[in-house]
Amino acid sequence: MGGISFVLNPKFADDIHDNKNLNLAKGFEKEFSVALDCFQPFNGACKDGELVAFMIRTKLTRTLQKVTIPLAEEATLAFRAHWDNCNDWRRVPLKDSIMMILAQITSRVFVGEHLCRDATWLQVLTKYTAHAFTAEKAVRPWPRFLVPLVWRMLKPCRETQAEFDKAQRIIHDAIKKRKSEPHLVFSDVMQWAEEAAGQSGYNPVVVQLAFSGAAISTSTDFLTQLIVDLCEDDELVNELRAEVTAVIKERGWEKGALHELKLMDSVMKESQRLKPLSLVSMRRLALEDVRLRDGTLLPEGTLSSVSCSRMWDSSVYPQPDVFDGRRFLRMRESLDQKTRNRALFVSTAPDHMGFGHGRSACPGRFFASNVLKITLCHLLLNYDFRSIGPKARVMTYGPLLISDPSVNVEIKRRKPGFTTEDGSV
């Protein structure tokens, strides 16, 4: 592994954004040792990985409206399960607890109502991804051809494989059970994958772990940081609560309601602007020689990425170091249509690459945006929260920016002041 990796100036982002010879999945395959079975969910370039991207684009994103109410119901249950007993201030480890909550909420759409509340499944999901990242670091120093021989000696690899095997048993049992009840109708990733793969065959556990691997740790990292940011600004929290109350009390979870949470959208984009997943985005492998407009050659086989520096550039964002929750809301009020479009949380541009940019920009961002908004609505309406203990720090690992895994907050139950028709707030 290793080798040269180019970090390009953001001015090239739009030049290369559509280039088919710069491939994200194959880059990941090259960087990440995907030689082992238990790493297959990270291999977007394999058949199952392609099925995942296909299903997100063709099924998940088009079904968003239908899954809003199930997601809201699940959010109610997940918060009750994980943030209970807090009529008085109670301390929670923020990141772990948010991960369990988001794992349950997103799983509602990935594996359905029954399995999404299964404690063993949720443990597997959260442990598998964590072990896999440690395992990948453990195999990194080994020449790739030796990995299939040495992995059993490496504890993190054995742990990852054990979680993978557990996941395999759970998913196979769940599919068997569904097949024995053909009269029941399901509308979730497990069902869509069966339909989409048809006769061509696929590995359902790879698909499930790929979905969860892409969705849960990214969303958890994001929401942890956002809550840390909100702990700094009571006034903003009150404004967000007022917005959520006005929108959800009036419209419930009906079509378009989440779109009306404009301050929330802006706050989310601002938090991600200041702390995206990485200092670089658009990581790609050159499948052929690629020539940039200034003549620079990206030779076939090289990895490249684009610097996210414009996200903190004062010529793009005045006072770029200041968290300004209304920044993107103001952009949304601009007379210029392009500026308005760029202001949305789900928009991508060289100025904001929190979800990447171009043909491989995160396809799950529309789903992520809805899940995060629904989760935040529940959190804001039902809980007071405040920071406690040492100030949260952003951790770095290479170019990665990781929200603090050790931060604690105190939470306290509050009355939302209204109930939606279906009782999900």
**Site residues (vs ligand HEM, CB under 6 A):** 24-25, 44, 52-53, 56, 60, 211, 214-215, 218-219, 222, 277, 281-283, 354-358, 360-365, 367-368
Contact predicate 85/116, CB 8 Å: no
* Least distance to ligand HEM, CB of residue 250, Å: 27
Residue with Cβ nearer ligand HEM (156 or 356):
356
Please name which of 333, 356, 335, 337 lies closest in space to residue 346, comparing C-alpha atoms: 356
* Least distance to ligand HEM, CB of residue 219, Å: 4
* Least distance to ligand HEM, CB of residue 158, Å: 27
* Least distance to ligand HEM, CB of residue 22, Å: 10
* Least distance to ligand HEM, CB of residue 13, Å: 9
Residue with Cβ nearer ligand HEM (156 or 354):
354
Residue with Cβ nearer ligand HEM (25 or 190):
25
Classify residue 117 by burial, with Cβ atoms within 10 Å: 0-12, 13-18, 19+.
middle
* Least distance to ligand HEM, CB of residue 38, Å: 18
- DSSP assignment, residue 275? S
* Least distance to ligand HEM, CB of residue 64, Å: 11
Could you write out the DSSP letters of every residue in 370-414?
Answer: HHHHHHHHHHHHHEEEEEESSPP--EEETTEEE--TT-EEEEEE-
Q: What share of the chain is helix, strand, coil (3-state, %, to 5)?
A: 55, 10, 30
Residue with Cβ nearer ligand HEM (53 or 388):
53
Residue with Cβ nearer ligand HEM (86 or 290):
290
Q: How distant, in Å, are the alpha carbons of 88, 236, 248, 354 from that of 233?
A: 21, 5, 22, 22
* Least distance to ligand HEM, CB of residue 394, Å: 14
Residue with Cβ nearer ligand HEM (360 or 420):
360
* Least distance to ligand HEM, CB of residue 214, Å: 3
Token code pair at residue 85: 């007993």
What lies within 8 Å, CB to CB, of 34 at 6+ separation is: 40, 42, 43, 46
Residue with Cβ nearer ligand HEM (162 or 287):
287
What lies within 8 Å, CB to CB, of 162 at 6+ separation is: none
Task: For residues 249 and 99, give the distance between their C-alpha atoms in angstroms, rounded to a whole number.
Answer: 27
Could you write out the DSSP letters of every residue in 298-349?
Answer: E-TT-EEEEE-GGGG-TTTSSSTTS--TTHHHHHHT-S-HHHHHHTSTT--B
Residue with Cβ nearer ligand HEM (215 or 329):
215
Residue 297 β-bridge partners:
291
Q: How distant, in Å, are the alpha carbons of 8, 19, 202, 258 from that of 4?
A: 13, 20, 34, 43
Residue with Cβ nearer ligand HEM (76 or 225):
225
